[in-house]
Amino acid sequence: MNEVTLLGLAFLQNTTFSIMSRARNRDNAIYHGFAAVLSNLVWFLTFRNLITLELHWSTLPFYITGATAGSLWGSKVSAVIETKFTQQ
């Protein structure tokens, strides 16, 4: 695994975390549960990758870039998901 993999995992981690965070505020336990499992799975994979890369300072820009982009994207994705739920 390398820094590009870390960037992708950080993106997914923060995307799924944003979705899970917003899912907490919805009255849908299945949606929240699915989002929580997915978020925690990606969190585990991300930190496994960080440990493999020995948390070297050179990985920080990749992690921050992926995490920031993932958080912004996750907010957009969760807004779309919420729109689908509220239209039912």
Gap between the Cα atoms of 83 and 64, Å rounded:
29
Asked whether 15 and 77 are in contact (CB, 8 A), the reply is: yes
Please give the pLDDT value at position 42: 95
Gap between the Cα atoms of 68 and 71, Å rounded:
5
Residues 15-50 pLDDT 10s: 999 999 998 888 888 888 999 999 999 999 999 988
Q: What global pTM score does this model have?
A: 0.86
pLDDT interval class at 11 (50, 70, 90): very high
**Residue 68 CB neighbours (<10 A):** 13
- Give how many domains the chain has, as a whole number: 1
Residues 39-80 pLDDT 10s: 999 999 999 988 888 888 888 999 999 999 999 999 999 989
Q: For residue 60, what are its two tokens?
A: 């920080």
Q: Give the structural domain span for 52.
A: 3-86
